[in-house]
């Protein structure tokens, strides 16, 4: 029911108006003075207030001001006598809705109340609409935000590095794969760097030119091709790029480039090539070695027989001994080649890897070449048993340790570490020897690559080739890191899942 508060100090007027209002169906509260009126207003929140201006104590103007302080939208109709025009005007200025002069006719009272109530209803509706509208706008914003976020997420989480630039080359999007690929953080790049800075000189311009030409996938499109990027530390990174021009209302606004890291692929290709090279070289050498072996045995046997026919100090005997020594060396080499090429069946057994390492060390630490070398063992505590052929593994460890000793030449530290990574066990052999230049690292696993002087009977360049083959047969890998003058670390990586 609609609530009306009637404020007048004259009791007769209050009674009379209350009757009229109640007859019209309103709930009526009455107050004889300002303070009472304000109290009821606070408590009941009436829809309309009928307010006499001239009252003792707090007058109508004051009451109106207070009411408006409580609720700016309160509907207040002023009732004034003939002599109160100034006050009535003042009230209108203070946003009274209307004013009636005394004596108030029933009709006029009903009419202005009706109008006021219509205004109240209208205002409520308007409020409701505004609220609805606000909700709608908010919801639309949320949707928009979601759509935007979604697109952002797709770009951000793409496994390929994605870089967007404005016309002119300023980078505006740099996703996390790009961060990982190039080593820069977004904050260093977005709005700060130009696309030319992530290419080798001249490459960015060439790409933009090709992107706009029709010849590489159509205008505005550049089909996949290989280029080289330069990361934060100046390292060159081979990648595939595909790119597209971005348009806004038909006008070129910038472009997007998507980069796929090729390092792993190139590494795998190299490994494959190496394995193929190893196997074909192995087969070829084995064939030759086999053929050489027989006549060699003949030469040796007869040289021995012949030598016995001469006395120790006879020059011919000395010459024959040279023949015997050199032929023995050749036979050693031939045997090495045969060992390398022979595909021995593996006899894998579950065992701990540390005792295999220790056995290898046991053979070698007492040899003269180990004198002057400090040995540090740092074995991890959580290394599981691994399925390995221990004879072959010993051979691998031996080759790597001998190489380290050669590189340290009588002084330095050999550190042997084992550790468990999630799916791998890694064994490091770190030496403080001569190290190797970067370009050599690609070649050391090639059969017959050596920098050693082979007249001493060592240095056939087979140690690492053989080791590589063995570790590959265990589904593992050998990695190498080296710095000239500082030392070298070989890391053997064996998969844990080969446990059975
Ligand atoms: N730890 C190391 N430090 C420095 N250079 C190394 C190291 N290990 C290997 N090399 C280099 O790699 C080359 C190839 O090694 P690999 O073991 O295959 O052959 P090798 O030691 O020369 O001969 P072989 O092992 O057949 O006696 C070596 O000649 C050497 O130049
Ligand atoms: Mg060697």
Q: Residues lining ligand 1, CB < 6 A?
A: 399, 403-404, 407, 431, 433-434, 436, 444, 449-452, 458-465, 488
Residue 168 makes CB contacts below 8 A (sequence gap 6+) with: 194
Mutate to test the pocket of ligand 1, among 452, 456, 458 (most ligand atoms within 8 A of CB): 452
Chosen domain end from 296, 317, 341: 341
**Are residues 88 and 13 located together in one domain of the fold?**
yes
Element (H, E) at 241: strand 236-248
Q: Determine the Cα–Cα distance for residues 119 and 48; give it in Å rounded to an integer.
A: 10
What's 75's domain CATH number?
3.40.50.2300
Task: Specify whether 294 is located in the same domain as 430.
Answer: no
Among the bound ligands, name the one nearest to the CA of residue 466. 1
Q: How far is CA 105 from CA 12, 13, 102, 252, in A?
A: 14, 11, 8, 75
Same domain membership, residue 273 and residue 257? no
Same domain membership, residue 412 and residue 337? no
Residue-range definition of the domain harbouring residue 321: 266-341
Could you tell me the two tokens for 481? 């890191």
Residues lining ion ligand 2 (Cβ < 5 A) are 403, 463
244 contact partners, CB below 8 Å, separation of at least 6: 211, 220, 221, 222, 255, 256
Same domain? For 318 and 244 the reply is no
User: What CATH number did the domain enclosing 298 receive?
Assistant: 1.10.287
Same domain, 14 and 96: yes
Parallel, antiparallel, or unpaired for β 477-483 and 487-495? antiparallel
Position 141 in a domain: no
From 464, 479, 482, 487, give the residue whose CB has the most ligand 1 atoms within 8 Å, as the site to mutate: 464
pTM greater than 0.75 (yes/no)? no
**169 domain residue, yes or no:** yes
pLDDT in tens, the chain (500 residues): 889 999 999 998 899 889 888 888 899 999 999 999 999 999 999 999 999 988 888 988 899 999 989 988 888 998 888 777 788 788 888 888 888 888 888 888 888 888 888 888 888 888 888 888 888 888 888 888 888 888 888 888 888 999 999 988 999 999 999 999 999 999 999 999 999 999 988 888 898 899 888 888 888 888 889 999 999 999 999 999 999 998 888 888 899 999 999 988 888 787 777 777 767 777 777 778 778 888 888 899 999 999 989 888 888 998 898 899 888 888 877 877 777 666 667 788 899 999 999 999 988 888 888 999 999 999 999 899 999 988 889 889 999 999 999 999 999 999 999 999 988 999 999 999 999 999 999 889 887 888 987 655 567 788 898 888 889 889 899 999 999 999 999 999 999 864 44
| Structural domain total, the chain | 4
478, 490 contact by CB (below 8 A): yes
> H or E stretch including 51?
strand 48-52
Q: Are residues 393 and 414 in the same domain?
A: yes
Ramachandran angles phi, psi of 178, nearest 5°: -65, -40
Q: Ligand 2 centre and the CA of 251: distance in Å?
A: 64
- 363 and 491 share one domain: yes
Which alpha helices (H) appear in 309-389, and where do they start and end? 315-341, 353-365
Asked whether residue 467 is assigned to any structural domain, the reply reads: yes
- Ligand 1 nearest atom to the CA of residue 464, by list position: 18
Q: Report the first-to-last Cα separation within the chain, whole angstroms.
A: 84
How far away, in angstroms, is 452 Cα from ligand 1 center?
A: 7
Residues 211 and 237 reside in one and the same domain: yes
Please identify, among 261, 279, 301, the residue that sits at the C-terminal boundary of a domain.
261
Exposed / middle / buried, residue 317 (Cβ in 10 Å: 0-12, 13-18, 19+)? middle
Residue ending a domain, among 235, 261, 287, is: 261
Q: Per the domain annotation, does 74 fall within a domain?
A: yes
């Amino acid at each position: 029911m609609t609530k009306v508060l009637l404020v007048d100090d004259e009791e007769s007027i209050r009674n009379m108006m209350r009757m009229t209002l109640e007859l019209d169906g309103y709930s009526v509260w009455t107050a004889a003075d300002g303070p009472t009126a304000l109290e009821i207003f606070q408590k009941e929140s009436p829809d309309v207030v009928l307010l006499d201006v001239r009252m003792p104590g707090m007058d109508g103007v004051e009451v109106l001001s207070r009411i408006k302080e409580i609720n700016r939208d309160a509907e207040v109709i002023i009732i004034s006598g003939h002599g109160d025009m100034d006050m009535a005007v003042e009230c209108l200025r203070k946003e009274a809705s209307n004013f009636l002069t005394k004596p108030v006719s029933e009709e006029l009272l009903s009419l202005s109340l009706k109008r006021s109530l219509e205004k109240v209803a209208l205002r409520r509706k308007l409020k409701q609409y505004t609220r609805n509208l606000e909700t709608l706008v908010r919801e639309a914003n949320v949707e928009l935000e979601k759509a935007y976020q979604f697109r952002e997420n797709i770009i951000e989480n793409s496994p390929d590095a994605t870089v967007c630039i404005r016309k002119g080359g300023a980078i505006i999007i740099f996703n996390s794969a790009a961060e990982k690929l190039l080593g820069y953080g977004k904050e260093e790049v977005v709005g700060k760097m130009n696309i030319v800075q992530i290419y080798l000189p001249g490459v960015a311009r060439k790409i933009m030119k090709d992107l706009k030409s029709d010849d590489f996938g159509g205008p505005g499109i550049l089909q996949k091709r290989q280029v080289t990027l330069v990361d934060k530390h100046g390292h060159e990174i081979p990648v595939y790029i595909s790119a597209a021009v971005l348009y806004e209302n038909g006008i070129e606004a910038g472009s997007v480039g998507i980069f796929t890291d090729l390092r792993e692929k190139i590494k795998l290709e190299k490994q494959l090539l190496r394995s193929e090279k190893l196997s074909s070289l192995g087969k070829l050498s084995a064939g030759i070695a086999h053929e050489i072996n027989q006549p060699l045995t003949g030469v040796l046997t007869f040289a021995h027989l012949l030598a016995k026919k001469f006395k120790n100090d006879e020059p011919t005997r000395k010459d024959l001994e040279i023949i015997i020594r050199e032929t023995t060396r050749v036979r050693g080499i031939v045997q090495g080649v045969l060992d390398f090429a022979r595909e021995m069946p593996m006899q894998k057994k579950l065992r701990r890897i540390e005792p295999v390492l220790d056995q290898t060390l046991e053979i070698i630490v007492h040899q003269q070449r180990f004198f002057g070398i400090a040995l540090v063992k740092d074995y991890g505590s959580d290394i599981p048993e691994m399925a390995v052929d221990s004879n072959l593994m010993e051979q691998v460890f031996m080759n790597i340790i001998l190489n380290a000793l050669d590189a340290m030449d009588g002084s330095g530290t050999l550190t042997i570490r084992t550790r468990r990574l999630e799916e791998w066990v890694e064994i490091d052999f770190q030496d403080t020897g001569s190290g190797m230049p970067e370009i050599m690292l690609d070649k050391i696993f090639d059969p017959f690559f050596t920098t050693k002087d082979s007249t001493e009977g060592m240095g056939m360049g087979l140690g690492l080739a053989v080791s590589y083959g063995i570790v590959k047969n265990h589904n593992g890998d050998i990695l190498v890191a080296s710095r000239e003058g500082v030392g070298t670390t070989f890391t053997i990586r064996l998969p844990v899942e080969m446990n059975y």
